[in-house]
Amino acid sequence: MTEERGRRGHDDLVPPSVAAARPAHARHDSGRAYPPGTNSQDTSAVGAELAATQALLRAESANEVGAIVSTLVHDLGGALVVARYADPAMTVPVDVSLGLSEPVLPFADPVSVAAMRLGAILPEFLEAARLVISRLQAQQRRDEEATHDHLTGVLTRRAWMRRLSRAVPGDSVCLIDLDHFKAANDTHGHAAGDAALRAFGALLLHTLGADGVCGRYGGDEFVALAPRQDAARLAATCDRMRHQWEVERPRTAALIGLTIGVAEVDERGGRAALQRADAAMYDGKTHGRDRTVRVDDDAEGVTT
Protein backbone atom coordinates (compact mmCIF):
# COMPACT_ATOMS: atom_id res chain seq x y z
CA MET A 1 0.00 0.00 0.00
CA THR A 2 1.39 3.39 -0.90
CA GLU A 3 1.32 6.32 1.52
CA GLU A 4 -1.36 8.03 -0.60
CA ARG A 5 -3.62 4.97 -0.63
CA GLY A 6 -3.08 4.68 3.14
CA ARG A 7 -4.30 8.21 3.66
CA ARG A 8 -7.41 7.64 1.57
CA GLY A 9 -8.12 4.39 3.37
CA HIS A 10 -8.26 6.00 6.82
CA ASP A 11 -9.99 9.33 6.16
CA ASP A 12 -13.41 7.71 6.67
CA LEU A 13 -12.42 6.82 10.26
CA VAL A 14 -12.20 10.44 11.35
CA PRO A 15 -15.07 12.13 13.30
CA PRO A 16 -16.80 14.92 11.32
CA SER A 17 -15.81 17.53 13.92
CA VAL A 18 -12.14 16.85 13.18
CA ALA A 19 -12.22 15.88 9.50
CA ALA A 20 -13.86 19.11 8.38
CA ALA A 21 -13.46 20.51 4.89
CA ARG A 22 -10.07 22.05 4.31
CA PRO A 23 -10.27 25.85 4.48
CA ALA A 24 -9.08 27.76 1.44
CA HIS A 25 -6.67 29.81 3.56
CA ALA A 26 -4.55 26.69 4.20
CA ARG A 27 -3.69 26.03 0.54
CA HIS A 28 0.01 26.05 -0.39
CA ASP A 29 1.31 27.36 -3.66
CA SER A 30 3.72 24.64 -4.79
CA GLY A 31 4.91 26.81 -7.68
CA ARG A 32 6.53 29.48 -5.51
CA ALA A 33 10.26 30.17 -5.72
CA TYR A 34 12.42 29.16 -2.76
CA PRO A 35 15.57 30.99 -1.59
CA PRO A 36 18.84 29.48 -2.79
CA GLY A 37 19.97 26.49 -0.75
CA THR A 38 16.52 25.93 0.79
CA ASN A 39 14.96 22.46 0.70
CA SER A 40 11.60 22.90 -1.04
CA GLN A 41 9.89 20.24 1.10
CA ASP A 42 10.98 21.91 4.35
CA THR A 43 9.76 25.26 3.06
CA SER A 44 6.43 23.65 2.16
CA ALA A 45 6.08 22.47 5.76
CA VAL A 46 6.92 25.93 7.10
CA GLY A 47 4.35 27.47 4.78
CA ALA A 48 1.67 25.04 5.92
CA GLU A 49 2.44 25.76 9.57
CA LEU A 50 2.39 29.50 8.96
CA ALA A 51 -0.96 29.32 7.15
CA ALA A 52 -2.44 27.23 9.96
CA THR A 53 -1.11 29.63 12.62
CA GLN A 54 -2.66 32.59 10.81
CA ALA A 55 -5.94 30.67 10.59
CA LEU A 56 -5.86 30.06 14.35
CA LEU A 57 -5.77 33.81 14.94
CA ARG A 58 -9.03 34.14 12.98
CA ALA A 59 -10.81 31.09 14.44
CA GLU A 60 -14.25 31.76 15.92
CA SER A 61 -15.18 28.32 17.29
CA ALA A 62 -13.62 25.16 18.70
CA ASN A 63 -14.83 23.17 15.70
CA GLU A 64 -13.07 25.62 13.39
CA VAL A 65 -9.85 25.08 15.33
CA GLY A 66 -10.34 21.32 14.87
CA ALA A 67 -10.72 21.83 11.12
CA ILE A 68 -7.50 23.86 11.03
CA VAL A 69 -5.58 21.07 12.78
CA SER A 70 -7.03 18.54 10.34
CA THR A 71 -5.97 20.69 7.40
CA LEU A 72 -2.44 21.06 8.77
CA VAL A 73 -2.08 17.30 9.17
CA HIS A 74 -3.08 16.79 5.53
CA ASP A 75 -0.88 19.63 4.28
CA LEU A 76 2.08 18.06 6.06
CA GLY A 77 1.45 14.85 4.13
CA GLY A 78 -0.43 12.83 6.74
CA ALA A 79 -3.96 11.60 7.30
CA LEU A 80 -6.13 11.00 10.36
CA VAL A 81 -7.40 7.83 11.99
CA VAL A 82 -9.44 7.20 15.12
CA ALA A 83 -6.99 5.98 17.76
CA ARG A 84 -8.81 2.71 18.47
CA TYR A 85 -8.50 1.70 14.80
CA ALA A 86 -4.88 2.84 14.43
CA ASP A 87 -1.86 0.71 13.60
CA PRO A 88 0.76 1.88 16.15
CA ALA A 89 3.53 1.33 13.61
CA MET A 90 1.90 3.73 11.14
CA THR A 91 0.74 6.56 13.41
CA VAL A 92 2.32 9.50 15.19
CA PRO A 93 1.44 9.19 18.92
CA VAL A 94 -0.08 12.67 19.22
CA ASP A 95 -3.82 13.03 19.87
CA VAL A 96 -5.12 15.81 17.61
CA SER A 97 -8.79 15.61 18.67
CA LEU A 98 -8.43 18.56 21.09
CA GLY A 99 -11.16 16.97 23.20
CA LEU A 100 -13.74 17.58 20.45
CA SER A 101 -14.19 13.86 19.80
CA GLU A 102 -12.65 10.56 20.76
CA PRO A 103 -8.83 10.45 20.36
CA VAL A 104 -7.57 10.83 16.79
CA LEU A 105 -3.99 10.21 15.60
CA PRO A 106 -2.04 11.39 12.53
CA PHE A 107 -1.29 8.60 10.05
CA ALA A 108 1.84 8.41 7.86
CA ASP A 109 4.52 5.99 6.74
CA PRO A 110 6.99 6.00 9.68
CA VAL A 111 10.02 6.44 7.40
CA SER A 112 8.44 9.22 5.33
CA VAL A 113 9.12 12.94 5.33
CA ALA A 114 5.47 13.40 6.35
CA ALA A 115 6.00 11.47 9.60
CA MET A 116 9.05 13.58 10.39
CA ARG A 117 7.13 16.81 9.76
CA LEU A 118 4.14 15.71 11.83
CA GLY A 119 6.31 14.71 14.79
CA ALA A 120 8.26 17.96 14.69
CA ILE A 121 5.43 20.46 14.12
CA LEU A 122 2.24 19.09 15.66
CA PRO A 123 3.04 19.04 19.43
CA GLU A 124 3.79 22.75 19.65
CA PHE A 125 0.97 23.67 17.25
CA LEU A 126 -1.54 21.68 19.31
CA GLU A 127 -0.55 23.63 22.41
CA ALA A 128 -1.37 26.83 20.57
CA ALA A 129 -4.66 25.32 19.36
CA ARG A 130 -5.65 24.38 22.92
CA LEU A 131 -4.95 27.93 24.09
CA VAL A 132 -7.17 29.29 21.32
CA ILE A 133 -10.00 26.93 22.27
CA SER A 134 -9.63 27.93 25.92
CA ARG A 135 -9.87 31.60 24.92
CA LEU A 136 -12.93 30.98 22.74
CA GLN A 137 -14.68 29.05 25.51
CA ALA A 138 -13.95 31.80 28.01
CA GLN A 139 -15.40 34.35 25.59
CA GLN A 140 -18.48 32.19 25.11
CA ARG A 141 -18.99 32.05 28.88
CA ARG A 142 -18.70 35.84 29.08
CA ASP A 143 -21.20 36.24 26.25
CA GLU A 144 -23.65 33.88 27.95
CA GLU A 145 -23.29 35.74 31.23
CA ALA A 146 -24.08 38.97 29.42
CA THR A 147 -27.25 37.58 27.83
CA HIS A 148 -28.49 35.12 30.47
CA ASP A 149 -29.70 35.73 34.00
CA HIS A 150 -27.17 34.01 36.26
CA LEU A 151 -29.78 32.87 38.80
CA THR A 152 -32.53 31.43 36.60
CA GLY A 153 -30.76 30.60 33.34
CA VAL A 154 -33.24 32.49 31.16
CA LEU A 155 -32.41 35.50 29.00
CA THR A 156 -31.85 38.90 30.56
CA ARG A 157 -34.47 41.55 29.89
CA ARG A 158 -32.29 43.33 27.34
CA ALA A 159 -31.48 40.14 25.43
CA TRP A 160 -35.12 39.05 25.45
CA MET A 161 -36.34 42.43 24.22
CA ARG A 162 -33.91 42.20 21.31
CA ARG A 163 -35.46 38.87 20.40
CA LEU A 164 -38.96 40.30 20.83
CA SER A 165 -38.16 42.96 18.23
CA ARG A 166 -37.97 40.17 15.64
CA ALA A 167 -41.38 38.71 16.52
CA VAL A 168 -43.85 38.38 13.65
CA PRO A 169 -47.64 38.06 13.42
CA GLY A 170 -48.67 34.60 14.56
CA ASP A 171 -46.18 34.52 17.45
CA SER A 172 -47.45 34.97 20.99
CA VAL A 173 -46.04 36.39 24.20
CA CYS A 174 -46.80 35.92 27.87
CA LEU A 175 -45.92 37.95 30.95
CA ILE A 176 -45.75 35.99 34.20
CA ASP A 177 -45.85 37.43 37.72
CA LEU A 178 -44.99 35.36 40.79
CA ASP A 179 -47.85 36.14 43.16
CA HIS A 180 -46.96 36.91 46.79
CA PHE A 181 -43.25 36.58 46.05
CA LYS A 182 -42.30 39.51 48.29
CA ALA A 183 -44.26 38.09 51.24
CA ALA A 184 -42.61 34.69 50.85
CA ASN A 185 -39.19 36.32 50.48
CA ASP A 186 -39.72 38.42 53.61
CA THR A 187 -41.00 35.41 55.58
CA HIS A 188 -38.42 32.83 54.62
CA GLY A 189 -35.45 34.99 53.61
CA HIS A 190 -33.61 35.85 50.41
CA ALA A 191 -32.13 32.38 50.03
CA ALA A 192 -35.64 30.94 49.86
CA GLY A 193 -36.62 33.66 47.40
CA ASP A 194 -33.67 32.79 45.19
CA ALA A 195 -34.63 29.11 45.39
CA ALA A 196 -38.14 29.95 44.20
CA LEU A 197 -36.84 32.02 41.29
CA ARG A 198 -34.38 29.32 40.34
CA ALA A 199 -37.07 26.63 40.47
CA PHE A 200 -39.50 28.64 38.38
CA GLY A 201 -36.81 29.49 35.84
CA ALA A 202 -36.11 25.78 35.42
CA LEU A 203 -39.83 25.03 35.01
CA LEU A 204 -40.25 27.83 32.46
CA LEU A 205 -37.31 26.58 30.42
CA HIS A 206 -38.61 23.01 30.61
CA THR A 207 -42.10 24.08 29.52
CA LEU A 208 -41.29 26.64 26.83
CA GLY A 209 -37.54 26.46 26.32
CA ALA A 210 -37.60 24.07 23.37
CA ASP A 211 -39.82 26.23 21.16
CA GLY A 212 -40.07 29.46 23.11
CA VAL A 213 -37.68 32.21 24.14
CA CYS A 214 -37.77 32.74 27.90
CA GLY A 215 -36.56 35.78 29.81
CA ARG A 216 -36.56 37.49 33.19
CA TYR A 217 -38.41 40.79 32.84
CA GLY A 218 -37.96 42.10 36.37
CA GLY A 219 -37.39 40.90 39.92
CA ASP A 220 -40.27 38.41 40.05
CA GLU A 221 -41.63 38.82 36.52
CA PHE A 222 -40.81 36.54 33.62
CA VAL A 223 -41.64 36.63 29.92
CA ALA A 224 -41.73 34.18 27.05
CA LEU A 225 -42.11 34.44 23.29
CA ALA A 226 -43.64 31.44 21.53
CA PRO A 227 -42.89 31.50 17.79
CA ARG A 228 -45.68 30.26 15.52
CA GLN A 229 -48.12 29.74 18.39
CA ASP A 230 -51.45 31.51 18.67
CA ALA A 231 -52.54 32.99 21.99
CA ALA A 232 -55.00 30.19 22.77
CA ARG A 233 -52.33 27.52 22.44
CA LEU A 234 -49.81 29.46 24.54
CA ALA A 235 -52.46 30.13 27.20
CA ALA A 236 -53.20 26.40 27.43
CA THR A 237 -49.48 25.71 27.86
CA CYS A 238 -49.26 28.37 30.57
CA ASP A 239 -52.20 26.78 32.40
CA ARG A 240 -50.41 23.44 32.45
CA MET A 241 -47.31 25.23 33.74
CA ARG A 242 -49.32 26.84 36.57
CA HIS A 243 -50.62 23.46 37.70
CA GLN A 244 -47.14 21.94 37.44
CA TRP A 245 -45.76 24.77 39.55
CA GLU A 246 -48.17 23.84 42.34
CA VAL A 247 -46.56 20.39 42.36
CA GLU A 248 -42.90 21.38 41.90
CA ARG A 249 -42.51 24.66 43.80
CA PRO A 250 -40.24 24.58 46.86
CA ARG A 251 -41.88 24.14 50.26
CA THR A 252 -40.98 27.70 51.21
CA ALA A 253 -42.73 28.91 48.02
CA ALA A 254 -46.09 27.36 48.90
CA LEU A 255 -47.73 30.80 48.90
CA ILE A 256 -46.34 31.75 45.48
CA GLY A 257 -48.75 31.36 42.58
CA LEU A 258 -48.58 32.48 38.95
CA THR A 259 -50.65 35.16 37.25
CA ILE A 260 -50.08 35.14 33.50
CA GLY A 261 -51.13 37.47 30.70
CA VAL A 262 -51.04 36.18 27.11
CA ALA A 263 -51.35 38.10 23.84
CA GLU A 264 -50.77 37.32 20.19
CA VAL A 265 -48.42 39.37 18.02
CA ASP A 266 -50.15 41.18 15.16
CA GLU A 267 -49.14 43.84 12.66
CA ARG A 268 -48.44 46.24 15.54
CA GLY A 269 -45.40 44.18 16.54
CA GLY A 270 -43.96 42.41 19.55
CA ARG A 271 -43.79 45.37 21.93
CA ALA A 272 -47.47 46.12 21.42
CA ALA A 273 -48.29 42.47 22.15
CA LEU A 274 -46.22 42.63 25.33
CA GLN A 275 -48.17 45.70 26.46
CA ARG A 276 -51.45 43.83 25.93
CA ALA A 277 -50.09 40.80 27.79
CA ASP A 278 -49.05 43.13 30.64
CA ALA A 279 -52.57 44.59 30.80
CA ALA A 280 -54.08 41.08 30.79
CA MET A 281 -51.76 40.00 33.59
CA TYR A 282 -52.80 42.96 35.77
CA ASP A 283 -56.41 42.20 34.99
CA GLY A 284 -55.79 38.72 36.35
CA LYS A 285 -54.22 40.11 39.52
CA THR A 286 -57.23 42.32 40.19
CA HIS A 287 -59.58 39.35 39.78
CA GLY A 288 -58.02 37.00 42.30
CA ARG A 289 -54.51 36.16 41.02
CA ASP A 290 -53.16 32.70 40.18
CA ARG A 291 -54.76 32.53 36.74
CA THR A 292 -54.07 32.92 33.04
CA VAL A 293 -55.72 35.76 31.14
CA ARG A 294 -55.60 35.72 27.35
CA VAL A 295 -56.18 38.87 25.32
CA ASP A 296 -59.08 38.48 22.90
CA ASP A 297 -59.55 41.04 20.10
CA ASP A 298 -63.32 40.77 20.49
CA ALA A 299 -63.42 40.97 24.27
CA GLU A 300 -61.53 42.51 27.18
CA GLY A 301 -59.91 39.19 28.03
CA VAL A 302 -60.47 35.49 28.43
CA THR A 303 -59.64 34.00 31.83
CA THR A 304 -58.60 30.35 31.93
DSSP 3-state assignment of 304?
Answer: coil
171 is catalytic: no
Question: Distance between CA 91 and CA 291 in Å, rounded?
Answer: 66
| C-alpha dist (Å) from residue 40 to 34, 46, 166 | 7, 10, 55
Determine the Cα–Cα distance for residues 96 and 108; give it in Å rounded to an integer.
Answer: 14
Three-state SS across 21-77?
A: CCCHHHCCCCCCCCCCCCCHHHHHHHHHHHHHHHHHHHCCCHHHHHHHHHHHHHHCC
> What is the C-alpha separation between 117 and 52, in angstroms, rounded?
14
Helix (H) or strand (E) holding 179: strand 172-179
Question: In degrees, to the nearest 5, what angle opens at C-alpha 119 toward C-alphas 103 and 93?
Answer: 30
Please give the angle made by the CA atoms of 45, 113 and 103, to the nearest 5 degrees.
80
Strands 221-226 and 213-216: antiparallel
- Out of 171, 179, 220, 278, which one is annotated catalytic? 220
How would you classify the pairing of strands 221-226 and 79-82?
unpaired
Q: In angstroms, rounded to a whole number, what is the distance separating the alpha carbons of residues 137 and 145? A: 12
Give the 3-state secondary structure of residue 256.
coil
Q: Which residues form the catalytic set?
A: 220
